Amino acid sequence: MQLPLKVLLIEDREDDALLIARTLTRGGYDAYIHRVDTEAALREALASQSWDVILSDYRLPRFSCQAALRALQESGADIPFIALSGTGNEETILDLVRAGARDYVMKDNLARLPSAIEREMREAEGRRQRKRLEAQLQQAMKMEAIGRLAGGVAHDFNNLLTVITGFAQLALLDENPAREGLEQILFAAERASGLTRQLLAFSRQQALEPRVFDLNRLVRDMEKMLRRLIGENVRVSTSMAGEPLFVRADPSQLEQVLLNLAINSRDAIGHGGKLILGTSRRRLEGAAATLHGLHPGDYCAIAVADNGCGIAPDVLPHIFEPFFTTRPEGQGTGLGLSTVYGIVQQSGGAIYAQSDGRTGTTMTVLLPLSALAADAALAARPEALAASTETVLVAEDDDAVRKLVAESLAASGFRVLQAANGEEALEILHALGPAGVELLVTDVVMPGISGPILAARAAELLPRLRVLFMSGYTEDVIRHHGLSQGHAAFLQKPFAPGELVRRARELLDADKGKPRVQRAT
Ligand SMILES: Nc1ncnc2c1ncn2[C@@H]1O[C@H](COP(=O)(O)OP(=O)(O)OP(=O)(O)O)[C@@H](O)[C@H]1O
Ligand SMILES: [Mg+2]
């Protein structure tokens, strides 16, 4: 089998060029040879594509071998350069080596050329590998440093937020003339609380609940919801490993990972395109494992590939940094991929992005393959039950969150109604009458009628209504907000779609028939 080889040949003589071509074919190469004999043509060839090797005649009528080496250096490319000459003057050879030539082959001994090329290409690959490893190490050290900084800030910031919200809520308990101002403080604090939680995820400080489960199944369970969320103009397809891929991780955190990646793809695709979700088994050995900061061994790969706008080479090294975003002001926080990065790292895996900057992006998550079989508990995960059919009313003032919640529930079969605030939710409940809605999923902090007040008023209309509260605050902080204890479930934001559906199902199935909501105190 002939080895393909792309040769940039600097040679003014046609007959010598033919001889070189023949030597390469005889040496086992299927060579594509591009011949140039001026400096301008050389520079153009260097700029237009990549080359495996440069072969250069030493004596050129229109420019010198030294000028060619200078042009190569200026291009920044690491391409082996081999000089060819009819004379074997020691001084000449030394000059060329000093100028950066890797080897020197006499034209009357061209038979040596194929082996010289082979050695140079092997060494060039070694240099490339070392460069990749150095870059990877530097990247890992950078992310580690940012992680420590982000984690430290987030931790202290969270404590401050607890004080801010605590006192604002205390002040709201009495008739307070500053009520509106205090409510604004609480809104801002809730946003801040969400941000700090994402930062904590990035710095790998989340409380995870790892279990052993089949990744294929998780991806399949998510697929339907992702299809709906991503919209009709993106074709979603899957390419799954034929065997189960057991990993030990927190399933709801992995759902969050898939969701963030898929949303980025949707945004990159814009009007029409495709998204492929894939899983596969990978064996990583030696350098391939080190390159991702992993131990050699068996891994499961989840790939999310899109044919969107791609990621430019100068953007690529930054995408996992917190607050790095290329979106217009106010359209993205730049925490999506940082959260993903933190979750994957904390689960003992790695993530990397590939893009040529034009025709799309592939994000690959690697997770250690678990030798254990799946937990029996997980085999009976609630979302594997028959599709839900109940009617759910979602009250949430943040449009993006409301859409996500609605889509997640609809994808599991629920009939979903949406309200952008407490007043709208009450109007819907009034209009539908006593049997209209089985579950209310509501944000806790909303302008006007808050979640707990909405729940209490709803309970007067529909005593059997179950309520699932969502909030960016922890349950502890929320307790002061009048959330009735023991009669309503609580879901802390941000949550994964599967978690939401599981909790909704649990709530609807738990001691059926009893009233679920009491008046908030
Ligand atoms: N699939 C993709 N295609 C093209 N660019 C991407 C893709 N995924 C990520 N990016 C780039 O990486 C940047 C960072 O992504 P990240 O998810 O962290 O933040 P964001 O999407 O900008 O904001 P947020 O996720 O917080 O709403 C994006 O702004 C975008 O430039
Ligand atoms: Mg994002």
Domain locations along the chain:
3-127, 132-202, 211-372, 382-509
Asked which of 2-11, 22-31, 347-356, 371-380 is least confident by mean pLDDT, the reply is 371-380
For residues 258 and 152, which has the higher predicted lDDT (pLDDT)?
258
Give me the pLDDT at residue 385, please: 45
Cα separation values, 79 from 69, 84, 137, 153, 477, Å: 10, 16, 24, 45, 61
Distance 335 CA to ligand 2 centre (A): 7
Q: What would the two tokens of residue 54 be?
A: 């440069």
Exposure string over 328-360, b if 16+ CB within 10 A, otherwise e: eeeebbbbbbbbbbbbbbbbbbbbbbebeeeeb
Asked which of 114-118, 215-219, 482-486 is least confident by mean pLDDT, the reply is 482-486
Helix (H) or strand (E) holding 329: none
294: Cα within 13 Å, side-chain hemisphere:
26
- Cβ of 321 below 6 Å from ligand 1: no
Residue 133's pLDDT band, with cuts at 50, 70 and 90, is confident
pLDDT of 382 above 60: no
Q: Which residues neighbour 408 within 8 Å (Cβ) at sequence distance 6 or greater?
A: 225, 229, 497, 500, 501
Q: Mean per-residue pLDDT for 395-415?
A: 87
Residue 484, Ramachandran bin (φ over 0: left; ψ between -120 and 50: alpha; else beta):
beta
Cis before 494? omega within 30: yes
Q: Mean per-residue pLDDT for 72-91?
A: 88
Distance 316 CA to ligand 2 centre (A): 14
- Cβ of 265 below 6 Å from ligand 1: yes
Which residue among 143, 319, 354 is best mutated to probe the pocket of ligand 1, counting the most ligand atoms within 8 A of its Cβ? 319
pLDDT of 389 above 90: no
Q: Whose CA is nearest to atom 1 of ligand 1?
A: 265
Distance 264 CA to ligand 1 centre (A): 5
Structural fold of domain 382-509: Rossmann fold (3.40.50)
Summarize pLDDT for 453-474 with one digit per residue, the tens.
899 898 888 888 899 998 876 6
- Taking the model in full, what pTM does it have? 0.68
Which residue among 266, 325, 339 is best mutated to probe the pocket of ligand 1, counting the most ligand atoms within 8 A of its Cβ? 325
Tell me how far apart the alpha carbons of residues 405 and 410 are, in angstroms, rounded to a whole number: 9
Summarize pLDDT for 336-346 with one digit per residue, the tens.
999 999 999 99
Superfamily of domain 3-127: Response regulator (3.40.50.2300)
Q: What percent of the chain has pLDDT over 90?
A: 47
What's domain 211-372's architecture? 2-Layer Sandwich (3.30)
Residue 373's pLDDT band, with cuts at 50, 70 and 90, is low
Topology alike, domains 132-202 and 211-372: no
Distance 334 CA to ligand 1 centre (A): 7
Average pLDDT, the chain: 87
Q: Are 12 and 61 in contact (CB under 8 A)?
A: yes
Q: Whose CA is nearest to atom 19 of ligand 1?
A: 334
Taking the CA of residue 309 as reference, the ligand 1 atom at the shortest distance is: 4
Q: Mean per-residue pLDDT for 133-157?
A: 87
- Cβ of 354 below 6 Å from ligand 1: no
Summarize pLDDT for 94-106 with one digit per residue, the tens.
888 888 899 999 9
Tell me how far apart the alpha carbons of residues 391 and 437 are, in angstroms, rounded to a whole number: 5
Ligand in closest contact with the CA of 337: 1
Domain boundaries 132-202, CATH class: mainly alpha
pLDDT of 306 above 90: yes
Residue 398's pLDDT band, with cuts at 50, 70 and 90, is confident
